[in-house]
Amino acid sequence: MKFGRRLPKQPFTSLQSPVMESDIRDPDLAESGAVRMEWDARQMPVLHSIKDRFARERPFRDLRVAVCLHISTKTANLVTAIKSGGAEPVVCASNPLSTQDDVAASLAVHHGVPVFAKRGEDPDTFNRHLHNVLESNPDILLDDGADLVTTAHRDHRRQLDRIIGGTEETTTGVNRLRSMVRNGDLTIPVIAVNDSKTKHLFDNRFGTGQSALDGILRATNTLIAGKTVVVCGYGWCGRGVASRVRGLGGQVIVTEVDSIPALEAAMEGFRVLPIDEAAALGDLFITVTGNRGVIRRDHLEVMKDGAMLANAGHFDVEIDVQALDALAIEKRSLRPNVEEYALANGRRLHLLGEGRLVNLVAGEGHPAAVMDLSFANQALAVEHLVARHEDMPPGLYTLPDEVDREIAGLKLESMGLAIDALTPEQQDYLDSWR
């Protein structure tokens, strides 16, 4: 049985509407964006090799790919890889505060990619940009947080008939899509890139582990050594954050709602406490749960003077910023990305990056070397969709295991590392129950 829209045999063109003008901050920033993209491209050898193959094989000829990701140097390298494969990408931001305006400018000016993203855009502009991208008649949706897929299902249902599928970058997006599947609402196939081992085992853990701390340090220049750091959520990101805090000499307290990761954290040597108890102890709080209301009014009220609050989960709902606003008698900006809230009880709390993804708001996001793996997955997921979408009924998919291993193998090779191969005897031994 075949599903979805069948793409015509080559040559075909699906570009049925003219691409609109970009909406970016300043095209004159393009040079700076180009140089920074070049720097990061050097750390992305796996994506680079895929890009070279795409340029030869042109698997996406004349397909329009809507891209909703953090507009960073790494994303720009993914976008140019997809473009090398013959696609026409159209780009918007997955977060209003993570856009790097010089990268947006370079994509638009040097690569002719329509970009709808300005750092600090207000919620209306952010939403309008999502609609701009969907109105370009995309064939494929490339998402980070499922905003494109959910907006298409809510407001652009006619477009859905022509969309062959999508890909999803992050845990929160995959959670939203799982909910759509449970409710019978998802009408296209989506590949959960986050669920590839070469994505979450590396990007979420080592990427978020390093970049969340990087963002916090850039914002505050605080000393982690000797501080009590409360890490809320011990999933893939939480494991990375907790281990990096420990590496810098911080004392980690983990809060969890699931007994298994909580036990794992305890056996890893971290103190495990309910947030109600941890709230009064922390000097620094880092939320990475993908959930909402993790730090609430009750917790804010008992925090120490000078406590800092940062979020590295996808949405800005993990720390209850409204409660913080309500408790504050005065608020002022102390440094870029550091807001001081003076409470009636005389204590001062410091919110970093407005409670949005601290690694992207106060830093540059993950290092390119780890995004090499995530975006190799994205690039191959788009290729997989184009080749296989007719055999993919609506639902959530993961990339085949061999793709994961191919990406890991290419990364090892680029690092100059080799591994052993099974001997025939070893293979027989493993295959035999005797």
Ligand X SMILES: NC(=O)c1ccc[n+]([C@@H]2O[C@H](COP(=O)([O-])OP(=O)(O)OC[C@H]3O[C@@H](n4cnc5c(N)ncnc54)[C@H](O)[C@@H]3O)[C@@H](O)[C@H]2O)c1
Contact residue for ligand X among 127, 187, 243, 291 (CB under 6 A): 291
Task: State the nearest-atom distance from the C-beta of 145 to ligand X, in Å.
Answer: 7
**Is 235 a residue that touches ligand X (CB under 6 A)?**
yes
Least distance to ligand X, CB of residue 12, Å: 35
Q: Side chain identity at 329, as an amino acid letter? A: I
- Coil, strand, or helix at residue 369? helix
Contact region with ligand X (CB under 6 A), list: 75-83, 165-173, 185-193, 339-347: 165-173
Spatial separation of the C-alpha atoms in residues 349 and 324, rounded to whole Å: 9
* Distance of closest approach, residue 85 Cβ to ligand X, in angstroms: 25
Write down the residue that tokens 């691409």 correspond to.
19
Please tell me whether residue 294 binds ligand X under the rule CB under 6 A.
Answer: yes
Binding to ligand X (CB under 6 A) within 313-342 occurs at: 313-314
Residue 175's CB: how many other CB atoms inside 10 A?
A: 16
Question: Site for ligand X (CB under 6 A): how many residues?
Answer: 30
Going by the DSSP 8-state scheme, the letter that residue 295 receives in this structure is B
Residue 233 as a binder of ligand X (CB under 6 A): the answer is yes
Q: How far is CA 427 from CA 159, 160, 403, 424, in A?
A: 49, 46, 21, 5
Minimum distance from residue 142 beta carbon to ligand X (Å):
16
**Taking contact as CB under 6 A, which single stretch among the options 47-55, 127-135, 177-185, 254-262 is the one that binds ligand X?**
254-262
Task: Give the footprint of ligand X on residues 356-385 (CB under 6 A).
Answer: 357, 359, 366
Please report how close the Cβ of residue 254 comes to ligand X at its closest, in angstroms: 8
By beta carbon distance, the residue nearest ligand X is: 235
Determine which helix (DSSP H) or strand (DSSP E) holds 192, and give its type and residue range: strand 189-192
Q: Give SS3 for 42.
A: coil
Residues 6+ apart with CB under 8 A from 315: 145, 172, 292
d(CA 122, CA 128): 10
How many whole angstroms separate alpha carbon 330 and alpha carbon 416? 55
- Which of 204, 337 has the CB closer to ligand X? 204
Give the whole-angstrom CA distance, residue 36 versus residue 47. 16
Q: Which of 112, 103, 106 is nearest to 72 (CA)?
A: 103
Q: Does 218 bind ligand X (CB under 6 A)?
A: no
Interaction between residue 289 and ligand X (CB under 6 A): yes
Q: Rule CB under 6 A: which residues touch ligand X? A: 170-172, 200, 203-204, 208, 232-238, 255-258, 261, 288-291, 294, 312-314, 357, 359, 366
